[in-house]
Amino acid sequence: MKILIVLKKELLDQIRDRRTIIAALVMPAVIVPVLLFFLMQEPANNDLPAGVRIVTPGTAADTDGELTPGGETTLGDVLHSALGDFATISSDTPDEAVRKGEAELAIEESHGADGEPIFILRHDPARKLSGVVFARVHAALQGAYGAAVSPENASIRAVPVRSEVEYTTLLTLSLMLPVFLMVFSASTTMSSVIDMSAGEKERGTLETLLSSSVSRPSLLLGKILAAAIVGITAGAALLAGLAVSSAVVPEMTGGLALLSVAGPPALALILVVLLSCVLLFSATGMALGLYAKSVKEGTVFTLPVIILVSVLSGGMIAGDPFIRVTVHLVIPVVNTGYSIRALLFGHADYPAIALAIVSTLCGAALMYGVSYLLLKREKVINRS
């Protein structure tokens, strides 16, 4: 019976505050379906963006869908049927063009001793878009030339521009590293800033700070920067630990060490981009902590934010490291995830990185303003 009394008391304490119920039950029930809905809007595997770039022989770009005098299908016909509109580029080094993201696919056409067509398709298995383009062109070539040329003569050769260990490592890191960096820095930063805001309220020391000679803007900025330092330190520690451990056991990242994929300059730039996101996490956590009545309530409020961060940084949105989508670059977390993936692939897209940093800092400034307004409201500060 005494157990039931304690159980009843604790349950009543848990459900007494409506905001806690909303944050703990309603928000998780709503946020996951909403996120899944937006993820459904992403292009399917068989959908291609306009202007897919192909390195082709000079004749392929000039056919414009025409047929040869003998009525045979040209390579240009095949590409148009498989891809729709596409852009052709010329390159003396087709492998490098595909590796650097200048093209999604490179095609080389030649003929064997008996005149049979031979096609070499160079693609990047570490890029989803390159893999989709390769699959569609490969299937179209088989369909177009398989009936006219006997299977033993026709030759369609797939040549990945990366070794298996390289693309396995890139796939692993590009999917794993943005999520780990964001989630660990967000959780560390918010845990720290919740203690500096809701914790100060709960301990009754915030009023003492507000009565001191330190202005409210300075007080807020100092706390936000302190929490951001904690968060970026966690991110740096994660990168350092992964760099050392993958150097000792490279199999954990797919076969190559982190420093073999991204050197110190790239890792330093990743930390710079991450810092802008950490400032946003800190300012957002400050607003949530000032609004919450206790550390426990503030922690509950941050859970949906961390879930949102993990999904948006997971590579499902704006996942291709060589395709710049402006709308993605102005969405915090999404733009940071894109920047990290691009740097892992050796693509230092400085204008995109600058736009990502500026837009994320604008979000941090907005949350700083919200925190300042909350700090001015005595009803919010004094409630318990």
pTM (2 decimals)? 0.81
Give Cβ neighbours of residue 212 (< 8 Å, ≥ 6 apart).
none
Separation of alpha carbons 70 and 263, rounded Å: 54
Given this model, what pLDDT does residue 46 score?
55
Separation of alpha carbons 284 and 193, rounded Å: 9
Q: How far apart are the first and last CA of the chain?
A: 31
User: Which strands make up the sheet holding 52-55, listed edge to edge?
Assistant: 86-89, 52-55, 105-111, 117-123, 155-160
Given this model, what pLDDT does residue 383 score?
58
Given this model, what pLDDT does residue 68 score?
37
Separation of alpha carbons 197 and 381, rounded Å: 10
Mean pLDDT per 10-residue interval, the chain, length 384 residues: 70 63 61 59 59 74 39 72 85 90 89 77 90 88 65 72 92 89 93 90 79 84 93 95 94 92 94 96 94 86 87 67 85 92 92 95 96 81 60
Given this model, what pLDDT does residue 322 score?
87
Separation of alpha carbons 111 and 103, rounded Å: 24
**Backbone phi, then psi, for 41, in 5-degree steps?**
-75, -10
Given this model, what pLDDT does residue 382 score?
64
Given this model, what pLDDT does residue 63 score?
41
Given this model, what pLDDT does residue 287 score?
94
Separation of alpha carbons 270 and 173, rounded Å: 13
